[in-house]
Amino acid sequence: GENVEQHPSTLSVQEGDSAVIKCTYSDSASNYFPWYKQELGKGSQLIIDIRSNVGEKKDQRIAVTLNKTAKHFSLHITETQPEDSAVYFCAASITGNQFYFGTGTSLTVIP
């Protein structure tokens, strides 16, 4: 089955700096890659996703890039703010099938 690896496991950045979280996947058939933000008391929320027919997607300060050849995708957060502090999970899926999650990245934005 699919294997998703996520790095780093922890990340600290100064407020205003950028944060990058990287994931790799093993199954070339995977075609949907969401990112989730997990905060205490708020559950896990989908923040951005990308499909395999697109190389990059941006939503305000958040962007995701996908390299299908290398089988990796990354989350980029620019101009980080303290409220960006959370655990972020990547996932890979073949549309309609099971999701496989990375192990999570704990992001701390230092004011």
**Residues contributing to the site for another protein (CB under 8 A):** 6, 32, 34, 36, 41-46, 49, 51, 89, 91, 93, 95-96, 98-99, 101-104
Backbone dihedral angles phi then psi of residue 27, each to the nearest 5 degrees: -95, 110
CB of 68 to another protein, least distance (A): 16
**Whether the Cβ atoms of residue 107 and residue 18 lie closer than 8 Å to each other:** no
Joined tokens for residue 50: 């990308």
CB of 49 to another protein, least distance (A): 7
CA-based nearest residue to 4, from 101, 106, 98: 101
CA distance 34 to 8: 17
**β-strand pairing of 10-14 with 105-110:** parallel
Judged by beta carbon, residue 51 or residue 58, the one nearer another protein is 51
CB of 89 to another protein, least distance (A): 7
Judged by beta carbon, residue 1 or residue 111, the one nearer another protein is 1
Judged by beta carbon, residue 6 or residue 80, the one nearer another protein is 6
CB of 79 to another protein, least distance (A): 25
